[in-house]
Amino acid sequence: MDLYFIAARHQLLELAAFLDRVERAEGTADFRLAALRRALPLLQRSRGPRVAKILTALSDSSRHPIPRATTKSACGACPPASGRRRAAKS
Amino acid sequence: MRYIEPHAHMVSRTTDDYRAMVAAGCAAVTEPAFWAGFDRSSVDAFYDYFCQLTDYEPRRATRYGLPHYCWLCVNPKESEDAGFAREVLKIIPEFLPRPTVLGIGEIGLNKNSRNELAILEEHIELAVKYDLLILVHTPHLEDKLKGTRLTLDVLKAHSKVRPERVIIDHVEEHTIAMVLEAGFWAGITLYPDSKVSPARAVDMLEVYGPERLWLNSACDWGHSIPLNVPYTAMEMRRRGHTVAEVDRIIFQNPCRFLRQSPRFEIPEVPG
């Protein structure tokens, strides 16, 4: 607790500030915010592993290679049009 | 403190970084071939890059007394154009006899596409043919879990791949167990924003133990911290790990893996 509590408190406030900032901003939130919100309850699990569960929740859970890479970047959450459905069709 | 930096893209870093790494106890650095941040436009551009990795960069590191080794490949970010990637693959054997080349890497997947997978398989064949070590990149963020699974499937299906000669890098909490359980080495990459923080890296060490694990900064042209391996050593000490435990994970483990290549030699460094 002595080593990490202040840092954890800081990171929790940063997350809260991010959500407030998004709420104040103009424009429409996309799938990334929805994915983040879905992952938040995993923090409240009574037992771990919480990090692995959150990483898995934010991952593409499909199993087959996609037909073609159309971008080089990852965005941190699985876009609704990619992943499961597209790979399943391939 | 002594340590090995087994994954650093030093061509993107300044001489100040070399100085700081050596001052912090770095005893050797190994540099996988990487994406430049833009697609190279010709095979000749790769030829020049491989010359840089095998000739110029070791000489630059030598000015700081630091042994520099490298890994060669077409990075997965440039594997979608399979025809072009195959042209580059053809020139790699010319560089393999050079004295600081340890193996093939960092190969792997980026967006988990069919072409990326095909080029990964061809790189593995090359490594097997020349009996070289393999360094595997796993994808970023949402693509990591799927990419790690696909990569493991390919490696496990190859009868001549020896898991103890393959390091699968950039593992995180949701992929580390599957890599270690399959008998491969796992690399934990210490990044400021994506990948793993020093504290999470030490968490994984405590949960999974030090066997077949190494730490690296993977510092490059992006937001990254070349001294993150010694910073993580400090984190271990802060949590009460002994000097010997630190030395095992940041020096002895990478030495044990890398010494499977007869080319990897470092001057005797006191522990």
Per residue in B145-202, pLDDT tens?
A: 999 999 999 999 999 999 999 999 999 999 999 999 999 999 999 999 888 999 999 9
When scoring B74, B119, B140, B145 by the number of chain A Cβ atoms within 10 A, the one with the most, hence best to mutate, is B145
Q: From chain A, pick out residues whose CB is under 8 angstroms from the CB of B141.
A: 58, 74-77
Output the pLDDT for position B195: 85
Q: How many angstroms away from the CA of A3 is the closest CA of chain B?
A: 8
Which chain A residue lies closest to B148 (C-alpha atoms)? A63
Digit-coded pLDDT (tens) for B10-63? 999 999 999 999 999 999 999 999 999 999 999 999 999 999 999 999 999 999
Residues 21-80 of A with CB under 8 A from B: 49, 51-52, 55-56, 58-63, 65-78
Q: Which pLDDT band, with edges at 50, 70 and 90, does A29 fall under? A: confident
Output the pLDDT for position B227: 98
Q: Which pLDDT band, with edges at 50, 70 and 90, does A82 fall under? A: low
Q: Is the separation of the CB atoms in A4 and B199 below 8 Å?
A: yes
CB atoms within 10 A of CB B52: 16
- Domains of chain B as residue ranges with CATH: 3-258 (3.20.20.140)
Q: Are the beta carbons of B80 and A68 separated by less than 8 Å?
A: yes
Q: How many angstroms away from the CA of A79 is the closest CA of chain B?
A: 9
Q: How many angstroms away from the CA of B38 is the closest CA of chain A?
A: 10
CB atoms within 10 A of CB A23: 9
Q: Is the separation of the CB atoms in B139 and A76 below 8 Å?
A: no
Q: From chain A, pick out residues whose CB is under 8 angstroms from the CB of B173.
A: 49, 51-52, 55
Q: Are the beta carbons of A69 and B142 separated by less than 8 Å?
A: no
Torsion region of A59: left, alpha or beta (phi above 0 gives left; psi -120 to 50 gives alpha): beta
Which chain A residue lies closest to B238 (C-alpha atoms)? A3
Output the pLDDT for position A84: 47
Residue-wise DSSP of chain A: -TTTHHHHHHHHHHHHHHHHHHHHSSS---HHHHHHHHHGGGGG-SSS-HHHHHHHHTS----S-BS----S---SS--TTSTHHHHHH-
- Tell me the whole-structure pTM to 2 decimals: 0.95
Q: From chain B, pick out residues whose CB is under 8 angstroms from the CB of A36.
A: none
Q: From chain B, pick out residues whose CB is under 8 angstroms from the CB of A59.
A: 142-146, 174
Mean pLDDT of chain B: 97
Q: From chain B, pick out residues whose CB is under 8 angstroms from the CB of A4.
A: 199
Whether residue B206 is predicted with pLDDT greater than 70 in this model: the reply is: yes
